[in-house]
Every structure is written in C-alpha cells, then in structure tokens.
Amino acid sequence: MESLEIKNDEVNKWISMVTANMQLHPKFEEVVQKGVKTLNKIPIIWLELSDCSGNSEAFIKSANPSIEDLIFDYISLDYHELLMSASGDESESALEDIIKNQRGEYVLIVEGAVPLGMDGKYLRIGSKGETGIELLKRCAKDAALVVAVGSCAFDGGVVAAVPNPTGAVGVADALGRDDVINISGCPTNPVNIVGTLLYFMMFEEMPPLDEFNRPLWAYEGRIHENCERRGHFDAGEFVKEWGDEGAKKGWCLFEMGCKGAYANANCPTMKFNKGTSWPVQAGHGCMACTEKGFFDKYANERVYHEKNSH
C-alpha cells in the first residue's frame, strides 16, 4: 500500500463504503477490515468458460490499481486460466492439487456460460480437451461455495442469445443446483464480488439472496429509483434524440430505450472505475444486463419490440 501511495484514510473510506453497501451497521467496519486482511486465506479457483473475459478484464489495470484491485492481488487466486503464468500440465497439476488437498475449503468462481450442446463439445479446455461442463462439475463437487460471476454465468447471457446453437446455460442450470450465488452484470462491479467473499468469510454463510440467488445488498434496489436522472423522469423531461438539448442537460433516457426501470442492481450508487461513472451517467441507457435473458429481452431492440408488439 505504501509503494502504491494508498493512504490509510483511503482504505478507511473504502471499508466504510463496502460496509454500507453490504447493508451492515457501521459497527461492522472493524470486522470488514479484518476480513479484508485475511482474504488470502481462502483458496480460489476461477474458471473461464464461454465468455469474453469481461469480468476478469475488469480487474486488470496497467497502472494506479484501486483498492479492490489490490485486494484481488492478495487473494489466493490459485487457478485462473486467463491470469495465471502456468500453462499446460503445470496448470492442470495446480488445479488438481487444490481439488484434492483443499476439499471443502476452496471457493469456486465461474465466469462464462456453459455449453451443453453436443454433450458439451462446443467448449474444450486444457491439454486433455476436457469439456467445460466436465471441468465445472469436477471443480464444483467439493467447493465450499460456488459463485457465478457475470451475466453469462448467471443464465447464459449473450452466449445463450437466440438461437443459442451451443445450448449454453448458466452455471446453476448446468449443475442443477440451487445454492449457486449469482453476481450478474455485463460486467459485474468488482466490489460486488469482494463484498460477497467478505460476507462468506465473516459470517460463514451465504448473504441474504433474492429470487435469482443474487445478494440482496447488491441487487435489491431498482436502478431507476437511484438514478441521478430520476428527477427528470418525474418532471417529464426526456431526451428525444441523441445530441438534443435534453441530452446536453442530462435529462432522462427512458424514451431512448433505457431499461433502468426494469433492472435491479447497485450501479447508480457503486458506479465503476473507482466510483467514477456508470453507463447512464455517461449518456448511455441501461440495458438491464443484470436481469434474466437481458440480451434477447432488453438489449436486442428488434427482439424486444417484436415480443412487446403482440
């Protein structure tokens, strides 16, 4: 922290922010701080299945890492196909060692959809050509916790968009389990992943979840309710055309296709890039990427209008 010129007050602010967003009383700040310092005790396997690696990319910074990035540097991320330096048999040996010797202790984080078509042959990983579904089942069997990160891992996301030739599904559906924690989003906010791991470590149980097994503290609020443009919606002030006066004044984007009224997430309060901004603030309507079937239901305007024209 000293070498990166991260001061104690920055850390304390981050701790307070995470504690508040996890809907914990301020008295838990000390507990959260202790949890952060011991995150490296949790062995983590991070699988990359069918996706664009967007959630992993969200953690990769070339300079000036944020505090959550620093935390991920010190998490015991023992296996990650995208980030680890080992490859081939060496990486496979590392994975086997965790599964065998840390049974019931490691956390499995999964990014990406799971193709089930052709017996999973649309996705093969590793030197032995193991299918994605085989790898997932093998790693999930003895995991203490399974976390599906991003929209593709949630329900198949873009990979499962119509006509979905690979038969892609989300992690929970692929495993046939109802105890998978979903942290949806395209990509999800890194703080939501850190907060979920902290909650599991501090309380030794899953956080309160919504009907889609998403942490309530991150997904209970509707984006529309917390949007900084909400006042313009109430006043009937809408952007009618890109670049018009309303757009320049930051008016509501609902009539330009914003789906914030149908999406639940903490994007307006957490924002991205160290709390700098989020899509609606930057002038792009929400695509409801945290919701079930978002690409066909909300993001794909042609399909969206066809479904809602009947």
More confident site: 169 or 273 = 169
Output the pLDDT for position 190. 83
pLDDT tens digits, residue range 210-227? 999 999 999 999 999 999
Q: Closest Cα partner for 142 from 170, 92, 197, 105? A: 105
- Whether 64 is in a domain gets the answer yes
The answer to whether 286 touches 258, Cβ cutoff 8 Å, is yes
pLDDT category of residue 33 using cuts at 50, 70 and 90:
confident
Do 167 and 239 share a structural domain? no
CATH number of 259's domain: 4.10.480.10
Number of domains in the chain: 2
More confident site: 265 or 7 = 265
Do 97 and 49 share a structural domain? yes
276 alpha carbon, distance to own chain's centre: 18
- Whether 247 is in a domain gets the answer yes
Do 182 and 104 share a structural domain? yes
Rounded to whole angstroms, how far apart are CA atoms 159 and 167? Answer: 9
Distances (CA, A) of 47 to 34, 38, 66, 68, 149: 27, 22, 23, 20, 10
The answer to whether 195 touches 22, Cβ cutoff 8 Å, is yes
| Domain edge (last residue) among 218, 238, 271 | 218
Output the pLDDT for position 168. 98
| pLDDT at residue 287 greater than cutoff 90 | yes
Over range 23-42, report the average pLDDT: 81
Percent of residues, the chain, with pLDDT higher than 70: 85
| Domain edge (last residue) among 218, 234, 252 | 218
Q: 10-14, 243-247, 275-279: lowest mean pLDDT where?
A: 10-14
- Whether 1 is in a domain gets the answer no
Output the pLDDT for position 114. 98
Do 239 and 132 share a structural domain? no
pLDDT tens digits, residue range 112-134? 999 999 999 999 988 788 999 99
The answer to whether 206 touches 145, Cβ cutoff 8 Å, is yes
Tokens 């490691």, residue?
Answer: 106
| pLDDT at residue 304 greater than cutoff 50 | no
pLDDT category of residue 305 using cuts at 50, 70 and 90:
very low
| pLDDT at residue 165 greater than cutoff 50 | yes
> What residue numbers bound the domain in which 16 lies?
8-218
What is the pLDDT of the chain when averaged over all its residues? 86
205 torsion bin: left (phi>0), alpha (psi -120 to 50), beta (else): beta
pLDDT tens digits, residue range 263-272? 999 999 988 8
Output the pLDDT for position 149. 95
| pLDDT at residue 302 greater than cutoff 50 | no
Output the pLDDT for position 113. 98
pLDDT tens digits, residue range 193-203? 888 988 888 88
Tokens encoding 28:
């838990």
| Domain edge (last residue) among 218, 241, 262 | 218
pLDDT category of residue 164 using cuts at 50, 70 and 90:
very high
pLDDT tens digits, residue range 67-100? 556 556 656 667 777 666 566 666 788 888 899 9
Output the pLDDT for position 63. 39
Output the pLDDT for position 143. 96
